[in-house]
Structure 1
């Protein structure tokens, strides 16, 4: 559906009048032009979505600067998280590289078995075991029921265990009675 012309016209006027000042504000606060362009786009996308909230006249520019300021804050938080994650992963990788060759071979086998799983099974395992999400949280992420997540997670773990030629978790704890024998 095409927006009404007056709404579109108002946004275009807002964009023309404020693009350069907002861009200058953002460029002076980012490390590179790509980040500045992303933040500028996010600022004007917010303005489009909330056009009815944008003050008229001269009050529009400070409002846009406030939006840009929040977008910059989000960007900088993301950069800090990225830097921290990179440092943590580098530390973990260096620890893995120092492991004896046998453990490294086990990790290689696990990585290969994990890669051979379908995308859906890799995703549900990642969310449960790497991200530490509950069944209910995974259901929200995947857009399905908690019961469907339980089934997928069970199947994914079973297939991963089978690929590694070991018993699925919890199964080894159950006593196995050969056919014909009774407990």
Structure 2
């Protein structure tokens, strides 16, 4: 062996990167997923550099690692899809959604989505997660006073958005009031 592990890794990486990338790209639908799989493959190679065979066997070993990483990635995607489907079913059965006409829900959703991330986070922490001002302050790492001011402003922006969208549905008002 004789080569320093970092030097050996660089040598193997330079020789095997393109073949491993091609292998993974041909098996992944999304180039971002392929990049993740290749990165994980070489992370494993770095951690296990002492176990890696010599010569061309190292490249073949990496193909085996990439194959297993791909399999894990696919299993993870399937689990994610199953959890997402289950969550959609739970949301569809939500009592809040059952009493709100779909048209109004999408309009309220659009108003909420149009808010800044910070406003949306504040309002939903209060309305959906039932956190009080002190709990929101701890969650966000802010003072209670800062939360009160930001929440007041977020509610005003949400109210203006609802009015602009012509929403005067009791469930929308309940959402707004529960965020108070």
Instruction: Flag structure 2 segments of 5+ consecutive residues without an equivalent.
Output: 101-124, 141-177
4+ residue segments displaced more than 3 Å: 97-101
Matches of 2:26 and 2:46, distance apart in 1: 24
Range 35-44 or range 92-101, more displaced = 92-101
Q: Which residue, 13, 28, 31 being the options, matches 2:29? A: 31
Instruction: Tell me which residue corresponds to 2:7.
Output: 9
Q: Deviations over 1:111-133 (max 9, x none)?
A: 2423753439xxxxxxxxxxxxx
Cα 1:14–1:94 shift into 2, 3 Å: same
TM-score of the aligned structures, taking structure 1 as reference length: 0.54
Q: Corresponding residue for 2:74?
A: 76
Deviations 1:110-160 (A, max 9, x none): 62423753439xxxxxxxxxxxxxxxxxxxxxxxxxxxxxxxxxxxxxxxx
RMSD over equivalenced CA pairs, Å:
2.7
Instruction: Please list the CA deviations of residues 89-111 of structure 1 after superposition, one character each: whole Å capped at 9, or x if unmatched.
Output: 1111111154347xxxxxx9762
TM-score normalised by structure 2 residue count: 0.55
Aligned to 2:139: 119
- SS in structure 2 of the partner of residue 39 of structure 1: helix
Query: Looking at both structures, which has the greater relative contact order when contacts are Cα pairs under 8 Å and sequence separation is at least 6?
Result: 2
Match in the other structure for 1:173: none
